[in-house]
Amino acid sequence: MSLRVGGVRPEWAALPLELVVGAIMFGHGVSKLSDPAGFAANALGGIPLLLAYLVIAAEFGGGLLLLAGFLVRLAAFGHLCVMIVALTMVHWTAGLMGPGGFEFPLSLLASSIALLILGADPISIDSNAGITLFNNRTSFRRESIDVTSIGVKITGILLFLGGIALPFARTYLGIPEGIMPLVVTILVGLASLASGAATVFGSPRAYVSAFIMARLYLAGSALMLFWIKYAVRGLIAMVLSLGLLAALRSSHRGAK
């Protein structure tokens, strides 16, 4: 039985869930990451520190995985476990709606179940990295990916330019000040520059790295979009990132 609606694959429904739920999970994880011991002491009247770290990993790490479209079902399962505990042990007695109600954790629980069923979206790392990552035959790569298309070349150029600009534009993009954010930004910029250059020169191996970089840009733009101060910049960055991903995906022969 076909579940397509107007030719649209049902897996596309996973994309907004990954971006929205991933951003929410990431935000909750960041707030706990600064003080794991304090979270452990206050959660449910006190929980083991190891358990607190597992919750933070499910939220912070799982949020990043969903935003990147990588190991989507694993991230959704981790969040499912956290939401079951939050719903049953924290919010249940307050009822569905009202102060402390379980409507919010229930919504996130339903979203996690949906992602477990749907899996990753068509422009996720999960759905695209395996094209060349798990096949070492050069002929297979060239038969599967059209690296000579104009869209792919433009994507490579934009990734190259983005890699150069990223460290200088970090304040404009809302990246925090400090040595560690700067180092991470420089490393991401170098990776973008290298993958962009390899893509421009038509390397079939560059498909995976270029796709990963474009998806990471999409993840970052989603975080900007939901940060009110940077919403307009995030929307523009999201449109550009989606354009890069669409161009790369179109180079995969047989993609739908």
Q: How far apart are CA 180 and CA 186, in angstroms?
A: 10
What angle separates helix 103-118 from helix 72-86, to the nearest 10 degrees?
Answer: 160
Residue 253's pLDDT band, with cuts at 50, 70 and 90, is low
- Helix/strand/coil for 8: strand
User: Residues 228-255: what's their mean pLDDT?
Assistant: 85
Q: Are 96 and 78 in contact (CB under 8 A)?
A: no
Q: Give ∠ CA 227-177-190 in degrees, rounded to 5.
A: 90
pLDDT by residue (tens digit) across 206-231? 788 888 999 999 999 999 998 888 89
pLDDT at 148: 72
pLDDT at 140: 39
- Given a cut of 80, whether residue 153 has pLDDT beyond it is yes
pLDDT at 144: 62
Q: Give ∠ CA 42-40-97 in degrees, rounded to 5.
A: 50
Q: Provide, rounded to the nearest whole percent, the portion of the chain with pLDDT above 90.
A: 46
DSSP letter at 61? I
- Given a cut of 50, whether residue 158 has pLDDT beyond it is yes
In the chain, alpha helices (H): 14-33, 36-42, 49-56, 62-68, 72-86, 103-118, 125-128, 130-133, 138-144, 150-165, 179-200, 206-225, 231-250
Nearest to 12 by CA among 130, 126, 120, 129: 120
When mean pLDDT is compared across 72-76, 91-95, 156-160, the lowest value belongs to 91-95
Q: How far apart are CA 60 and CA 31, in angstroms?
A: 9
Residue 63 burial (C-beta neighbours within 10 Å; 0-12, 13-18, 19+): buried
Buried-exposed string 189-222: b where 16+ CB fall within 10 A, e elsewhere: bebbbbbbbbbbeebbbbbbbbbbbbbbbbbbbb
User: Residues 132-148: what's their mean pLDDT?
Assistant: 52
